[in-house]
């Protein structure tokens, strides 16, 4: 018997509730989803959308990445709530840091990845999460960074341009109908990083709602992190 992989389908994985501890004394809640073998070929560290607009570790693209990619692409997925954020997993201590204090949250996540020996880490930022990735991601040993729907509200031009001096690959996924940054403007804003890869998604919107857009985003992620796993299956036995 096979099931269609769509919506809230959760495929087999080793799922572990975790805690992250920041340098400024906070405890953040999260989850690590691993392939059932316990061995992954790569790791995604997810950075969720704006907390004050409802973003959290269960924002749908990140939740579906954790639900599907350990099984479909042998990828470990680490999700966590930024400081002050509530989800069914629990509440992270602290309060919203305007993209400044969240640098400690990212540092705690990367420390966890190192301590666990998780392989080939990639940052996956979505909306507000892209701001945290752009501002602070260059400090870490990463295989790459994927930005979904970056609004570039909190990232300065100099912070963007600094990525051209980094050896970390930068993939920027821009929806055609984004609410904040569309492909034409994105090409201008990222012109200072000619080594970056800008991927314009026809018909895409900021929130990537619907199975077609979800599949497209997850495919782009896997194409960078573990391309040998493509094409992603659409059914599961």
**Confidence at residue 119, expressed as pLDDT on a 0 to 100 scale:** 98
For strands 14-21 and 27-34, give the pairing: antiparallel
- Give residue 173's pLDDT: 98
Mean pLDDT of 4-27: 98
Determine what percent of the chain is predicted with pLDDT higher than 90.
100
Band of residue 125 on the pLDDT scale cut at 50, 70, 90: very high
Mean pLDDT score across all residues of the chain: 98
> Is the CB of residue 208 less than 8 Å from the CB of residue 149?
yes
Q: What is the pLDDT of residues 77-122, one digit of tens each?
A: 999 999 999 999 999 999 999 999 999 999 999 999 999 999 999 9
Is the distance from CB of 57 to CB of 46 less than 8 angstroms? yes
Query: pLDDT tier at 152 (50, 70, 90 boundaries)?
Result: very high
207-221 confidence digits (pLDDT tens): 999 999 999 999 999
pLDDT over 90 (residue 1) = no
How confident is the model over 170-189, as a mean pLDDT?
98
User: What pLDDT, on a 0 to 100 scale, did the predictor assign at position 81?
Assistant: 98
Q: What pLDDT does 165 receive?
A: 94
Measured from the Cβ of residue 158, the count of other Cβ atoms closer than 10 Å reads: 8
| Domains contained in the chain, CATH given | 3-226 (3.40.50.1820)
SS3 131: helix
Nearby residues of 82 by Cβ (< 8 Å), 6 or more positions away: 28, 47, 48, 51, 92, 96, 97, 102, 105, 132
Q: What is the mean pLDDT of residues 10-35?
A: 98
- Range 175-200 average pLDDT: 98
d(CA 177, CA 183): 9
Instruction: Please give the pLDDT value at position 97.
Output: 98
């Amino acid at each position: 018997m096979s099931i269609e992989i769509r919506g809230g389908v959760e495929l087999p994985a080793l799922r572990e509730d975790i805690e992250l501890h920041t340098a400024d004394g906070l405890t953040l809640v999260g989850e690590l989803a691993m392939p059932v073998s316990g061995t992954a070929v790569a790791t995604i560290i997810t950075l969720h959308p704006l907390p004050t607009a409802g973003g959290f570790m269960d924002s749908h693209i990140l939740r579906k990445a954790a639900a599907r990619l350990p099984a479909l692409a042998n990828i470990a997925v680490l999700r966590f709530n930024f400081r002050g954020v509530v989800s069914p997993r629990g509440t992270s201590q602290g309060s919203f840091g305007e993209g400044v204090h969240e640098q400690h949250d990212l540092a705690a996540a990367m420390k966890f990845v190192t301590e666990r020996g998780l392989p080939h880490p990639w940052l996956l930022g979505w909306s507000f999460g892209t701001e945290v990735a752009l501002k602070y991601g260059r400090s870490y040993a990463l295989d790459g960074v994927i930005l979904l729907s970056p609004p570039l509200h909190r990232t300065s031009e100099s912070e963007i341009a600094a990525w051209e001096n980094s050896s970390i690959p930068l993939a920027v996924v821009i929806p055609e109908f984004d609410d904040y940054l569309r492909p034409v403007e994105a090409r201008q804003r990222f012109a200072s990083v000619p080594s970056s890869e800008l991927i314009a998604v026809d018909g895409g919107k900021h929130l990537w709602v619907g199975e077609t857009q979800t599949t497209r985003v997850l495919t782009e992620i896997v194409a960078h992190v573990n391309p040998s796993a493509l094409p992603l299956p659409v059914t599961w036995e």
